[in-house]
Structure 1
Amino acid sequence: MEDLIGQISDFVWGPPTLILIVGTGIYLTLRLGFLQIRALPYALRLAFSPAKQDKNSKGDISHYQALTTAMAATIGTGNIVGVATAVVLGGPGAVFWMWITALFGMATKYAEAILAVKYRVENSKGEMSGGPMYYLEKGLKAKWLGVLFAIFGACAAFGIGNMVQANSVSDALNSSFSIPTWVTGLVLTVLAALVIIGGIKSIGKVTAFFVPIMALFYVLGGLVIIVMNLDIVPAAIGLIFSDAFTASAVGGGLLGTVIRYGVARGVFSNEAGLGSAPIAAAAAKTDYPGRQALVSMTQVFIDTIIVCSITGITIVMADLAGSGLEGGPLTQASFAAFLGDWGGYIVTIGIVLFAFSTLVGWSYYGEKCFSYLFNDKVVPVYRIIFVIAIFWGSVQTLDLVWSISDVMNALMAIPNLIGLLGLSGVVVYETKKFLEIAKKEKEEARA
């Protein structure tokens, strides 16, 4: 059974899907005139110093909280384990293709968010509900695609967004500190319940505080390594660039080994095109869809260009990719090569924090998928079951769940990308409208 699911996973994450994901990003980039580069400084300012007019706008949480909720779900084990896997299987050049994927993924994430806000609805509790299922139904007039997305998203939430994350935490703490898995499971369950039961406002407050701390903790650890070893950094970066265009990168069929693993792990890490993050974006207080979309776009920049780069450059500098180690252990060994035991502890703690944040962020995604499929009355029951699943996942072996979740994750992307391509005209229209408004605001601020 596991072999069959693995084959299905290889197929759905194969060249056709990856080409569709990256191709959509390239198409949107061209239609938007490389907005992700032109507007990045302004987007970062919006993310960390929200516009005053948004305080009185419709929504449940602030720009910043919507960003950190999405980042909580995306800054996960992929930033540590996924990057290491890409370097082992694809070579150092895979890091370069992760950067390329992120560049175009920023345009995709922008488009997802702008549609999520435009087509969001107010539920029976007065809260905002949005995401691919709503813009597929209301914008593209294809409710069946919205239903498919919600089904795949609901399944992925319990798998890759819940049990496998809890399992990663319990395994990491058991191997590093000999903490019994049931103890970790119990603590995780209680902590997650305190956050999740309160809904999006509670999740937003926690992620706004928690996400910057966990990201800075890991990034600072990596920066210490880089600063202490500046003499070998140029060679490592040079190897990343040169290896990206080796025979293995341009050969091997339609997608070379380096390109394939770089793109696949880049998408897995930042989730651009999968349709998960716009569910959080739809809850933001914002006066124009374009304003929140620019904020959401920065998530890919932070996740892949900053956090994944720290992991990738450190692994290349340590030169342990051929040692037989893979995934988390390789990242741990690479950090330890420069910082001793403390390096391994940084990665272990990073895995724990990143996995927990992913669990919290995905709880909201799953909630919205379930409420779309059924109704808002199922939400309390969903939250209880989600919390119980955390403990179960902490004490079980979940290889099959990992594989099934990976398939569901990929299948989410297909209806979402159809929606992005079909509604790209709406994205362009809303972008032009907002950029004109932003220009006027800038002129008024100068006057």
Structure 2
Amino acid sequence: MEFIDTLRDAIYAIMNPISNFVWTYILLYLLLGAGILFTVLTRGMQFRLFAHMAKVTFTSRGSGSGVSGFQAFATSLAARVGTGNLAGVAIALWVGGPGAIFWMWMTALVGFATSFVESTLAQVYKQRNADGVYRGGPAYYIERALGQRWMSVLFAIFLLIAYGLAFNGAQSNTIAQGMAQAFSIPNWVTGLVLVAFTALVIYGGLKSVARTAEKIVPIMAIGYFLVALWVLLSNLSEVPAMLALIVKSAFGYGPAVGGAVGYTIKIAMENGIKRGLFSNEAGMGSAPNAAAQADVKHPAAQGLVQSFGVFIDTLVICSCTAVVILLSGVYEQLMTTSPGKDIVGIQLTQDAMVDHLGSFGEIFIAIAILLFAFTSIIANFSYSQINIEYLFKRHAKSAVSVLRIAVLAMVMIGSIAKLQFVWDFADLAMGLMATTNLIAILLLCPIALRVLRDYETQRRQGVREPTFDPKGVLKRPEQVEADVWPRRDD
């Protein structure tokens, strides 16, 4: 036992400094900088095309033979919207003050463009699979467009560690804790039920994941939004003061609050930006794996759909959590009585909901956790399957079979055990994954820009549903699968 503790401490001594350096000094600025650059280069596509973005999202139903644009959107949103939307926002508020919410919003606004670029590239370089579902994502466009397979392999490995294993354990752990607290259900019982339902979905393949996400995600998102809207309307007279507090705190004005005693603009910015980036995953390289699955006529169409996912995740769902907390008596009480105290984020959200809804608030949050985290588990599997198939092309079926068993095992282990070490390791893997993807999309950005120009040109010419001809848009159309995007003169 002493040897294991010593080994763990030794690994932490190496891993933590690397992880902190990647997230604090590289990734934070790289993600934000890329978002601003892409916003400028796309001429503010998130503002110019927002209405069209929403329309394409909710009308993108596909041909029926594969995964529709909306199903791909639901799958990516399932992964984006998890327990972090409930717990992460609470922690950002507590550590960074209300101003963190303002910077979370600003991060989301530039994240639209980043999500568009990476998801459009995933569509351009996707490939057809025998099961009728396309495969694609950073691993594919890095190899095809950059010719750097070693980078693709690294990305796929990092994603499998983070999304295939660690994050699934963390999600199931949160579900089990929520069920135990709200309904006194033993963790092992929750674990067994989760394993059973997860198996039902993931053994059905990527189409099964997409169909399940399409049914559950809209219900959970709309339900959470309606409850938060009721809270907002019930406290309407306090809303102007809340908004003023958020804006003033973002720029260092107003009293120090909560855990952020004496907080500065820097603390508010860091926590808000991190929360926004972690939540909407723009630039992380995860959502493109879902985007590539969509059966659409033009890559830019799915790029716009995935951009709208940033809006739903951060500007809607994360904002709902912020509203519930800031308008509750719980938050004000903690600001007064417990400054500097360490808190558990999900507990703050749960207590705030109880303050608004009574005992039903605890039950509602437990159900929200269940839906948010379960859909994240199945979407994470979807991403992992795509990347393990990429790594083991000739033995893809066997590799996916092993992956299914590993995912189910992590769901069970996560339900009954504490996984702090695995979670910390996943943070490092996710950081390295995101860095790899960001370098790639910065290099490949001109391709996404040409695709966007082609899409907008066709729309200006009156084409209702633009189609994609790689020969007329790309400098190297031979890098694209001919049976996916046929040339018009072929």
Specify the TM-score bucket, using the shorter chain as the normaliser: over 0.9
Q: Give the 3 Å change call, closer, same or farther, for CA 356–444 of structure 1 in structure 2.
A: closer
Hey, what's the Cα distance between the residues in 1 that align with 2:448 and 2:152? 18
| Counterpart in the other structure of 1:338 | 356
Q: Identify which of 117, 121, 131 aligns with 2:127.
A: 121
Does residue 34 of the first structure (1) align with residue 44 of the second (2)?
yes
Hey, what's the Cα distance between the residues in 2 that align with 1:43 and 1:187? 38
For residue 327 of structure 2, give the secondary structure of its aligned residue in structure 1.
Answer: helix
TM-score (norm 2): 0.86
Tell me whether 59-68 or 260-269 shows the greater mean CA deviation.
Answer: 59-68
| Counterpart in the other structure of 1:431 | 452
| Counterpart in the other structure of 2:3 | none
| Counterpart in the other structure of 2:108 | 102
Given that 1:15 and 1:260 are in contact with CA atoms closer than 8 Å, whether structure 2 keeps it comes out as no
Structure 1: which amino acid aligns with 2:276?
A: G
Hey, what's the Cα distance between the residues in 2 that align with 1:158 and 1:374? 15
Structure 1 residues without counterparts, runs of 5 or longer? none
Hey, what's the Cα distance between the residues in 2 that align with 1:382 and 1:326? 32
Hey, what's the Cα distance between the residues in 1 that align with 2:135 and 2:114? 20
Given that 1:161 and 1:363 are in contact with CA atoms closer than 8 Å, whether structure 2 keeps it comes out as no
Hey, what's the Cα distance between the residues in 2 that align with 1:8 and 1:354? 30
For residue 384 of structure 1, give the secondary structure of its aligned residue in structure 2.
Answer: helix
Hey, what's the Cα distance between the residues in 2 that align with 1:329 and 1:348? 11
Does residue 204 of the first structure (1) align with residue 210 of the second (2)?
yes
| Counterpart in the other structure of 2:320 | 310
Does residue 61 of the first structure (1) align with residue 82 of the second (2)?
no
Hey, what's the Cα distance between the residues in 1 that align with 2:415 and 2:354? 26
Tell me whether 8-17 or 178-187 shows the greater mean CA deviation.
Answer: 8-17
Does residue 170 of the first structure (1) align with residue 176 of the second (2)?
yes
| Counterpart in the other structure of 2:426 | 405
State percent identity of aligned pairs: 39
Does residue 153 of the first structure (1) align with residue 159 of the second (2)?
yes
Given that 2:283 and 2:437 are in contact with CA atoms closer than 8 Å, whether structure 1 keeps it comes out as yes
| Counterpart in the other structure of 1:225 | 231
Structure (1 or 2) with the larger CA radius of gyration = 2
Hey, what's the Cα distance between the residues in 1 that align with 2:377 and 2:353? 25
Given that 1:88 and 1:326 are in contact with CA atoms closer than 8 Å, whether structure 2 keeps it comes out as no
TM-score (norm 1): 0.93
Hey, what's the Cα distance between the residues in 1 that align with 2:427 and 2:132? 33
The correspondence of residues 354-433 of structure 1 with structure 2, limited to 5 A, is: 354-375=372-393, 376-377=396-397, 378-433=399-454
Tell me whether 12-21 or 261-270 shows the greater mean CA deviation.
Answer: 12-21
Tell me whether 120-129 or 289-298 shows the greater mean CA deviation.
Answer: 120-129
Q: Give the 3 Å change call, closer, same or farther, for CA 30–189 of structure 1 in structure 2.
A: same
Structure 2: which amino acid aligns with 1:312?
A: A
Q: Identify which of 356, 359, 368 aligns with 1:350.
A: 368
Does residue 264 of the first structure (1) align with residue 264 of the second (2)?
no
Q: Give the 3 Å change call, closer, same or farther, for CA 444–150 of structure 1 in structure 2.
A: closer
Given that 2:133 and 2:207 are in contact with CA atoms closer than 8 Å, whether structure 1 keeps it comes out as no
For residue 80 of structure 1, give the secondary structure of its aligned residue in structure 2.
Answer: helix
Q: Give the 3 Å change call, closer, same or farther, for CA 62–126 of structure 1 in structure 2.
A: closer
Does residue 294 of the first structure (1) align with residue 304 of the second (2)?
yes
Hey, what's the Cα distance between the residues in 2 that align with 1:125 and 1:68? 20
For residue 179 of structure 2, give the secondary structure of its aligned residue in structure 1.
Answer: helix
Displacement after TM superposition at 1:124 (Å): 4.9
Per-residue CA deviation, residues 44-98 of structure 1 (Å, 9 max, x unaligned), is: 11111127xx528xx7300100000000000001111010010011110000111
For residue 365 of structure 1, give the secondary structure of its aligned residue in structure 2.
Answer: helix
Tell me whether 430-439 or 22-31 shows the greater mean CA deviation.
Answer: 430-439
Hey, what's the Cα distance between the residues in 1 that align with 2:16 and 2:249? 28
Displacement after TM superposition at 1:125 (Å): 4.3
Q: How many residues align?
A: 439
Give the structure, 1 or 2, with the largest relative contact order (CA under 8 Å, sep 6 or more).
1
Displacement after TM superposition at 1:439 (Å): 2.7
Displacement after TM superposition at 1:291 (Å): 0.8
Displacement after TM superposition at 1:390 (Å): 1.2
Q: Identify which of 215, 235, 248 aligns with 2:241.
A: 235
Structure 1: which amino acid aligns with 2:271?
A: Y
Displacement after TM superposition at 1:298 (Å): 0.4
Per-residue CA deviation, residues 193-220 of structure 1 (Å, 9 max, x unaligned), is: 1111111111111111100111112111
For residue 251 of structure 2, give the secondary structure of its aligned residue in structure 1.
Answer: coil
Q: Give the 3 Å change call, closer, same or farther, for CA 140–444 of structure 1 in structure 2.
A: closer
Given that 1:95 and 1:312 are in contact with CA atoms closer than 8 Å, whether structure 2 keeps it comes out as yes
Per-residue CA deviation, residues 130-169 of structure 1 (Å, 9 max, x unaligned), is: 0011111111222111111101000012344311111110
Given that 2:242 and 2:327 are in contact with CA atoms closer than 8 Å, whether structure 1 keeps it comes out as yes
Structure 2: which amino acid aligns with 1:39?
A: L
Hey, what's the Cα distance between the residues in 1 that align with 2:170 and 2:48? 38
Given that 2:97 and 2:263 are in contact with CA atoms closer than 8 Å, whether structure 1 keeps it comes out as no
Displacement after TM superposition at 1:6 (Å): 4.2
